[in-house]
Chain A
Amino acid sequence: MMIPVLLGVAFLIFAIMSFTPGDPAAIILGAQATPEAIQELREKLGLNQPFLSRFFYYIKGVVTRFDFGTSYINGRNVQDEILMRFGYTFRVALLSMAFALGFGVPLGITAAVHRNTWKDSVSMTVALLGISMPTFWFGQMMSIVFALKLGLFPASGVGGIRFYILPCLTVSMMGIAAMARMTRSSMLEVIRSDYITTARAKGQEERKIIYNHALRNALIPVVTQAGATFGILLGGTLVAETVFSIPGLGSYMITSINSRDYPAIQGSVIFIAAIFGVVMLLVDILYTVIDPRIRAEFSKGGK
């Protein structure tokens, strides 16, 4: 299922980039280029071939040689650049996701268990603020306070673990908030059900009721949300890279967009779609781990 979708994404992006006004050959050669030189380069780049055959060659290159083409601007291989920068982006996104799960889910559980108490209102207010703050602004505020005023962490650049703390805190804020909200509403739904009452009636420990009985059944919507949240965090990371001057995929995309470097934009977007696709696949696999009913359905269907 993932492969046709990825092909679709590649086609979509390729089509968008191809039908955009602006001749790549003219962009590469600059303003002083003669029409003959432009024509020659168009021939060399294969731009005079029909759209579909260009798409076919592009996909063939990506699949067989992992070749995303070369940048129009500096002539470097797009795939090398992506692989070099991808690590930064992915580390920030992954760490933020870990924060989102590690803080967001417990926050949501606490809020649901202590419904209508101060714990609930405090955590839900924080969560509401969290989903309402633009990541890039929160990042700037964090760097003003923690980097420029208090001098605790570096404000920008990359290096050791200390450089990752501010970006990850910034990006994860929205994730923590989203996860907390989802966990709370999902837990509230489950806590009302009969088997929780049964578990209480038979004298089960409250802690076990919450974690073994309620949470387990509340997890499915939470995992779905986690997949979507990872997408949001990935988007947030791309923007936050500008704030913290991280040389990741986001800053690569933005520089490429500003210089109309289409192979670079194309490559990064397809690459991100692939990563996101893998994450969504992991989410689907997680479903079967969490919920034996889904697993049963799968094995039945397989027979």
Chain B
Amino acid sequence: MNLQKESKTLSSQTANRQSMTAIMLRRLKKNKTAMGGLFILTFMMVIAIFGPLIAPYSYTETDLFHTFGLPSLLHPFGTDELGRDIMSRLIIGSRASMKIGFLSMAGASVVGIMLGSICGYFGGKVDAVIMRFMDVFQALPPLILAIAICAALGPGLNNCILAIIISNIPGFVRITRASVLNIRRMEYLEAATAINCSTTRIIVKHILPNALSPLIVQITMGVANAIISASAMSFIGLGVQPPNPEWGAMLSAGRSYIRNYPHMVTFSGIMIMLTVLSLNMLGDGLRDALDPKLKS
């Protein structure tokens, strides 16, 4: 009898634990903005993944008889100064932006979370040294730091990713450190230490899962910012190099012709905006869904 009761409470506890993520997902599903964002994002990712299959023309194919074509049935978004189909270039260009956005956030979050948890957990000298380094990196606005790094490394897709990773690490370190510092005071950590868990195990299995929610939001918004920064860097000539298509680089190429052919710059900007908007919408939704103050 007693045993049954106990197993019952146990199972209800597991049900409770599962439902934390479930609650979050349910809240997220109810949030129309977040779902809209997810929808646009999925659409953009499908375009990026299947780009070469979808694109109606080759992105390098020039057609000197049809330069500066206005949007038409053959070329829905028109053609550029060399007669290349803008729609195909936008589709292929999405691959570069997505790659930069997701890879740079993956890199920055892994390094940042590692450093941040080390700082928060160990404190003391290690913490002081790492945080002073972060102060130096944060003394420059992120975009300017990325530009400076890219200037030294030289232009290109990979250097651009590296520059964005470095300029985003301090943010992750700070957020992780702050949550870890909070969690360190909790009693269950004392319990984990008491049963002789290894430090790595404590950090990875007990601390990080509980520090995750602000990080998830930061990562989502970070991808959005990375895409904007990357296109800004390509725009000023530091990112992806022509003839490879990239939204920012296409904007920069179309700049000379905006007086007569504004369609050349309009659509690439809309693509950037839609992608970034979808990520921000999703990020806002995640923030609301993960907010413990809204528990109802």
Contacts and interface: CB of A to CB of B under 8 A. Distances in A.
Interface string B271-294: 011001100110010000000000
A273 B154 CA distance: 21
A269 B148 contact: yes
Nearest to B150: A257
B259 interface: yes
B272 A134 contact: yes
Interface in A14-68: 16-17, 19-20
Instruction: Say which size band chain A's interface belongs to.
Output: 35 or more
A134 B228 contact: yes
A253 B233 CA distance: 12
A234 B132 CA distance: 23
A9 B149 CA distance: 12
Nearest to A234: B141
Given A140-B255, A242-B235, A231 B142 contact: yes
Contact of B248 (A134, A254, A272): A134
Contact of B148 (A13, A131, A231, A239): A13
Contacts of A136: 232, 235, 248, 251
Contacts of A258: 237
A144 B258 contact: yes
B272 A257 contact: no
A148 B139 contact: no
A153 interface: no
Given A134-B232, A136-B251, A137-B251, A8 B280 contact: no
Interface string A245-260: 0000000011001100
B255 A243 contact: yes
A128 B259 CA distance: 29
A126 B149 CA distance: 33
A293 B107 CA distance: 39
Contacts of B280: 128, 131-132
Given A9-B140, A269-B144, A128 B232 contact: no
Given A9-B139, A16-B152, A134 B269 contact: yes
Contacts of B272: 134, 137
B148 A254 contact: no
Given A5-B135, A128-B280, A136-B235, A235 B269 contact: no
B151 A129 contact: no
B135 A8 contact: yes
B151 A134 contact: no
A82 B142 CA distance: 21
A235 B251 contact: no
Given A6-B139, A8-B135, A265-B151, A234 B144 contact: yes
Contact of A140 (B136, B147, B237, B265): B265
B232 A8 contact: no
A59 B255 CA distance: 39
A134 B231 CA distance: 8
B260 to A, nearest CB: 9
B293 to A, nearest CB: 8
A12 interface: yes
B140 A239 contact: no
A239 B262 CA distance: 20
Nearest to A133: B273
Contacts of B281: 128
A231 B139 CA distance: 10
A100 interface: no
Contacts of A129: 273, 277
A16 B148 contact: yes
Interface string A274-298: 0011000000000000000000000
A128 B284 contact: yes
A140 B139 contact: no
B296 to A, nearest CB: 14
B236 A239 contact: yes
B256 to A, nearest CB: 11
B143 interface: yes
B136 A5 contact: yes
Interface string A221-253: 000000000011011101100110000000001
Interface in A118-139: 128-129, 131-138
Interface in B236-270: 236-238, 248, 251, 255, 258-259, 262, 265-266, 268-269
Nearest to B135: A5
Given A132-B224, A140-B269, A148-B258, A20 B152 contact: yes
B98 to A, nearest CB: 16
A133 B225 CA distance: 10
A243 B255 CA distance: 8
Most chain B beta carbons < 10 A, residue from A134, A148, A239:
A134
Interface of B: 132-133, 135-137, 139-144, 147-149, 151-154, 224, 228, 231-232, 235-238, 248, 251, 255, 258-259, 262, 265-266, 268-269, 272-273, 276-277, 280-281, 284
Please give me the 7 A-B residue pairs with the lowest Cβ-Cβ distance, nearest first: A231-B141, A137-B269, A235-B143, A8-B136, A132-B277, A16-B152, A257-B151
Given A132-B224, A132-B277, A235-B232, 15 more contacts: A8-B132, A9-B136, A17-B152, A20-B154, A134-B272, A137-B251, A141-B265, A231-B140, A235-B144, A235-B147, A238-B147, A253-B151, A269-B144, A272-B140, A276-B140
